[in-house]
Every structure is written in structure tokens, then in C-alpha cells.
Structure 1
Amino acid sequence: MKQLLVGGLGSVIGVAGFIVTVAVYVVETLIRPKKIVSFADLYKISPFELELPAEAVTFPASNSDHLVNGWYIPYPGATTTILVCPGYRSGMADVLGMCAHLWKAGHNVLVFEYYGHGQEVGKPVTLGYREINDFMGAVAYAKERAPHARLGVIAYSMGAAVAIMCSAHCQDVEAIVADSSFATHWSVIDYNVHRVLHLPAAPFTWVADYLLWWRAGYRFDQVAPLRDIGKIAPRPILIIHGGKDSLVDPRDAPLLYEAAGEPKELWIVPEADHCGAYFADRRAYVSRVLSFFEEHLKKARPRLQLVEGEGTGTMLPGPAERAEEITGLSEAS
């Protein structure tokens, strides 16, 4: 009996140790600063190769003390500005092809990268919590550069999740294309833990949630585009997702679509992986995105307003104001 008890206790300790180890790995991988690991990280395509009249710019993040890197590409006489937002650990060069098409279609373009995810390395990152500050800073900068231009957004992965959360509370954004967004922070972590370990994700993600609060100051449920997307209406949103996405559960796209108000569109590209719809059919992708902005942004119509009570400014409630349902700006990091 004593041997059985000791053996059982050892097994419990071993299982608990395994769960904690995996949880620590999840959290540290999530917030670990980006590093330069190869020449490919340094030598990427720039606006020069595409003959774009881009200006290298920096602007302050909202409610924070760091500067965000971007390229501003003005188009003479443009009545619209499109924000282009890369995803987790991605840089501006990764989305420059789409920027070129948007500019040629007559839009001003502001492409930026979330702090610590692109050129700026060696800084801890989060999965959409502090990055909200950068998006709101980009909105302010775009409005400063072209005050009368109507503002649209095309964003990818984590960037799309951030765009949804911010646009729900920011009436300056009038049309959104969200490519490969996750529905909630919980869902993307669950999906990846289960995909890698082939085990139920719950025990690992529960522990990781508490560790994330200790290490980064926020919890999984504080990043939830699914909770906010309904507040974007009556402004239009186009949701794009790959049917074979290996990083974000493809089932998240229909969830977001169902939660969104009209007008809304859902485009699932069956054979595409994460952020792969563009590469599956470049011509079709560009045509659909440009048509969306042409229809909902460039054509003359009254500026759509947020539903009363759903938020009327460009600032979101912060963690201290809505601790139980944070989708707003995080405190200065």
C-alpha cells in the first residue's frame, strides 16, 4: 500500500509538472521578444522595388510611450486612406504587395507594424492586448495626415483581431477587411496546444492563463474579437479565412461572421493556410478587396455612425475601467 501511495503521488507530481512545463512554454513563446535569426529578416523588399512614393514614418502609440514604425504612401487627391496591419511577429514588408495594389487603386496607404513584432526587436510582445495602442496611434496619424479622407482597414491574423476590437469602438474606421482573425485569445491557444500535443488543451491553457497574468499583466479573456465584432455594424466588414489554416481554427471565421451585424461578407478559401488566401489566387483576392473598398468606402454616401451607446470616440475603456470585459486600450507598458 505504501508503495502504491508513493507511486501514485509520484505520478500526480509528474503530471502536474508536465502541465506546468507546457503552460510555461506556451506563455514564454507567446510573449518572447522577436530576434533576428537570418539575413532574410534584414534584407526584405521595400517600397523602392515597387516604385511606391512611400515615406518612412513613426508615430506615437496611444496611451503608451513608444513609437510605431510605418510607411505612409500618399496618393494625389485621394479621398480615402487604408490602414494595412500585419500580424503576429510580421513586418510591413510582408504585406507590401497588397499595399501597392491599394495605392494604385487611388487610396492613401498607411502600413505599420506592431511594436516588437517587426523591425523593432528585443521587446516583449502580446497577442493583441498591448498592440491595441499601436492601432489607435495609427488611426490618429492617418487622420492627421489626411483629415478629410475616409478610413478603411485591411488586417491580418493578430492584426485583424486588433482591428476588429478597436474598430468596434472607433467611429473613424468605416470599412474593415479581416483576414485570418482568431475569435478569442482562448480559441487560438487551445487550437495550437491541441494541434501540437494531440491532447485536450484545457489543463495546459488554464495554467497558462494564470501565468500570463503574472508575466504579462493580462488574461486570455481580455482579448476577444468575437465579443466586439457586433458593435461594428452598420459599417461593413469582410471576413476572409483559409479552410486549411494551421494556426487559427478555420471555425473561428463563421463564429465571427455570425456575431457580426450587417453588412457583412464571409469568404472561405478552402485550400488556403494561415493568411494564404492572397497566395491561393492573387488576382481574385485583390479584386475582391478593391471592390469591397470601392463599394463601401470610395463611393459617396453619408458617413456611417456607431449605434448610440456603443462608443462614440477613438479611445477605448482601459483595463481599470472595465476589468471584467477588457477590449480597450491597455495601460502604458
Structure 2
Amino acid sequence: MITSLKTPSGIVTILIFILTILAAILSGVMGAAGPSTKVLFIAWLFVPAPIIFVLFVWKKLTGIAGIASKAYISISIALTVLLLLAVAWSGSETALHPGPASDEETLSMYPQLEANIETVSFLAADGVTLSGWMATGDSGKAVILLHGYTGDRTAMLPQAKMLFDEGFTVLLFDFRHRGESEGDFVSFGYYEKQDVLAAVNLIEETGETMRASGGTGIESIGLIGLSNGGATAILFAAENPGKIKALVIDSAFKSLDSAVSQSFTHFVGLPAFPFAPITVWFSELRTGLNRKDVIPEEAIANITDTPVLIIHGLEDETISYTDSEAIYSKANQPKDIWLVPGAEHGDASEIEEQEYQNRIVSFFTEHLK
């Protein structure tokens, strides 16, 4: 038997056997996610494929049993591959088109801010129309607030209020494909960089209008970004030196690969490999984004002479605080990091509300000059 396995047909037999083992492992992994993703429960049907293959080879099954064995083995391998691709496609669909944002925060909850809000609409360079709110302060300093992956501008209302109360001009807007903005998909910062540039241009135009009217205008601009907004802030600042004078990054991911990998594990209950890489690949094919251009951990090294404050919750199970530590390690001085005990993803502002406000306001007051 050992000698026969060295023949061409024997090598093919070994390769098919390896395929059945891989199919069985993948099927078992996907089947384990069945209770939460019911369609994957069918994958358990393909787990016995290696056993059936061994019986087929060693027992030399013929007739109906042989035909049935061949059919089962072929179907197991083919459908396992199809299920794998389907999971990855579904993952890319969910990643590119997250559900509507929650309505936990509303503008009416902040009457003083609401009284000074102006609804604005502006265009990104690729023609996407963006919607937002702007409140003009009296300090000559402005902060643009960038919401997270599943959120919209309302998620940044607490931060907008604390900054506006201190005299900052604040602009909070919906990224493309979120809230009231146009756009076909979310791209983890790849195309959202254009949204930030359009927002910066709007602030600069507002400052010029203020100066033309005899005011002081807006002398410096900062960014505060939450989660995906934080990653986008880094990517933008790295490509646009001098535009931003101070950065606050809250709960950002270090790379697109890292974000998708952790999401698979946390939300779907499947291991990152091989599902996350294929999901990213599908996302690249569908949108034209390049995963190599969505690595905040590397991009931040290109930001110089811009103070950075990094914040992350130690109990974050969506994006690990180690991502922020990785970003911090690559950042240039001046920089600071605040890891918040007890805080989960993006909720440091709730867990340590007063300390969060003190740090944010002090940071922008000191560095926006």
C-alpha cells in the first residue's frame, strides 16, 4: 500500500484525503457557529468526510456504496468551499453596510448646543454629499468630531457639547453611507479620508468668512475620532501634514486586518483565519479599497509635530486596547495614552465622564493655538 501511494494515482489519493480533512475541520468550525448562525449548522454534515474517504479507499467500495461515497466526498469538499466563500461574502456585506445607528443621543438632549447649531451640507472630492451640524464658538479654535463604524454624528454629541461649552467651534457630521449622508458603503477610513478633507475645507472657509466680517476667524483645527473615526483621523492627518494641529484617538484599530479579525471572533464566533482574510479580500474587490492603505499603526509614524492623545478602554472586547498600544508605540512625540479601567468599546466618556472631559478640553486648549 505504501508503494502504491508513491504512484501518481496514489499522490492524488493523498491530496484528496488532505482536502477531506481540511473540509472536515472547516465544517466543524463553521458548524460550531451554527446556533448563532443557523445556516452554518448544515456544515456538520460534512465533518465525517475523511472517515468516508478512508472506508472508500481501504474497503474498495464499489457499486451503489462506491458511487454514494464518491458523491458524498465530492459534495463535502465543494460545499465546504462554497460555505467558506459564503461566510466571507456575508462578512464583507455586513462590514461594508452596517445597520442603522442607535438613537441613544439626540440633539434635543443638548439645548444650549442645539440653539447654536447650523445644519450644513458639503461635498467630498468624489462627489458624495455629506450632512452635518456646526456650532461656531468664540475661541478661534475648531474641532471636527468623527463618529465610529456603526454610529453617526449623534454619537459625538457629548464631546461636541463639552468642547462648545469651552468656546470651540465644533463640526460633527455623518461619514459616507451613515446617517443622512450619501454613499454606497463604509470603507474603514479608505474613502472617509475624503470626507474629513471636505470637513476641514468647510471649517477653513467658515474661518475666512468670519475674518471677512471682522472676526478673528479660525486659527487651528483639531480632530477627535471614535473607533473607525479615530483610525480615519490618523490616516487623514498622515496624508495631510499641517492641516491638523492636535489629534484625539479613542478606541481605534491598528489595521483593517485587525479590525475584521477581531470582529469575526467577537460577533460571529468564528476564528479569524481563514474567514477574515477572505472577507477583507472580498471587500477590496467590491469597493476598490486597499487594505495596505488602512493601517493606522503605520500611518501614525508619518505624523510629526502634531500632539496625539490616545484613549482606550481596558475591557474593550470589540477592538483590543493592545491596538491602541501598538499605535502609541509608533507615534511621534508629543504623545500620551490613557487606558481606562472598566471601559468597554468607546465608552470611556461614560465610565470616567469628568476625567474624560477634563483631559479632552485641556488637551485641545493647550495644543490648538
Output one character per residue of 1:31-68: Cα deviation in whole Å (capped at 9) or x when no partner: 126558xxx65x9521684222111111111x211221
CA distance in 2, matches of 1:169, 1:124: 22
Give the counterpart letter for 2:145 in structure 1.
Answer: V
- 2:104 matched to 1:16? no
Partner of 2:235: 165
The structure 2 residue matched to 1:71, chosen from 108, 133, 136, is 133
Deviates more, 1:123-132 or 1:233-242: 123-132
Residue in 2 that maps onto 1:149: 219
SS in 1 for 2:368: helix
Q: Is the 8 A contact 2:95 2:186 kept in 1?
A: yes
Q: Which amino acid aligns with 1:141?
A: L
Whether contact under 8 Å (2:176, 2:183) holds in the other structure is: no
Contact in 1 for aligned 2:129/2:182 (Cα 8 Å):
no
Unaligned runs of 5+ in 2: 1-56, 209-217
Give the TM-score normalised by structure 2.
Answer: 0.74
| DSSP-derived class of the 1:189 partner | helix
Distance 1:246 1:48, change over 3 A: closer
Structure 1 equivalent of residue 145 of structure 2: 84
CA distance in 1, matches of 2:109, 2:127: 30
RMSD: 2.2
Distance 1:35 1:279 in 2: 22
Q: Which moved more, 1:130-139 or 1:87-96?
A: 87-96
How far apart are the structure 2 equivalents of 1:35 and 1:101?
25
1:132 aligns with one of 185, 193, 198? 193
Contact 1:33 1:122 in 2 (8 A): no
Assess, with a 3 A threshold, how the Cα gap between structure 1 residues 166 and 205 changes in structure 2: closer, same or farther. Answer: same
Distance 1:48 1:240, change over 3 A: closer
Deviations 1:82-135 (A, max 9, x none): 111111131222211211110111211111120221234784322222211111
Superposition deviation, residue 21 in structure 1: 1.7
Residues 1:177 and 2:242 are matched in the alignment: no
Deviation of 1:172 after TM superposition, in Å, equals 1.4
1:243 is displaced (CA, Å) by 1.1
Q: Are 1:270 and 2:333 counterparts?
A: no
- Cα distance change of structure 1 residues 5 and 197 upon mapping to structure 2, 3 Å threshold: farther
Residue 28 (structure 1) aligns with:
93
Q: Which residues of 2 match residues 268-307 of structure 1 at below 5 A? A: 268-298=339-369
Matches of 1:153 and 1:12, distance apart in 2: 50
> Tell me, what secondary structure is at the counterpart of 1:287?
helix
* Structure 1: unaligned runs, 5 residues or longer: 299-333
Give the letter for the 2:87 counterpart: V
Distance, in Å, in 2 between the alignment partners of 1:158 and 1:124 is 14
Aligned partner letter, 1:54: I
Q: Distance in 2 between matches of 1:75 and 1:195?
A: 41
Q: Does 1:54 align with 2:117?
A: yes
Partner of 1:328 in structure 2?
none
Deviation string 1:163-190 (CA, Å, 9 cap, x unpaired) is: 0010112211010001011100000101
Are 2:329 and 1:258 equivalent residues in the alignment? yes
Question: In the alignment, what sits opposite 2:276?
Answer: 205
Partner of 1:115: 176
Q: Given that residues 47 and 96 in structure 1 are in contact (C-alpha distance below 8 angstroms), is that contact kept between their aligned partners in structure 2?
A: no
Larger relative helix fraction:
2
Q: Which moved more, 1:140-149 or 1:153-162?
A: 140-149
In the alignment, the residues of structure 1 paired with residue 105 and residue 248 of structure 2 have an alpha-carbon distance, to the nearest angstrom, of 25
Per-residue deviation, 1:198: 4.6
Q: Whole-Å Cα distance in 1 between the matches of residues 183 and 134 of structure 2?
A: 25
SS in 2 for 1:177: strand
Offset at residue 196 of structure 1 (A): 3.9
1:173 partner SS? coil
Higher relative contact order structure (alpha carbons within 8 Å, sequence separation ≥ 6): 1
For 1:99, the aligned partner's letter is A
What is residue 160 of structure 2 aligned with on the other side?
99
CA distance in 2, matches of 1:212, 1:31: 7
Distance in 1 separating the partners of 2:157 and 2:267: 31
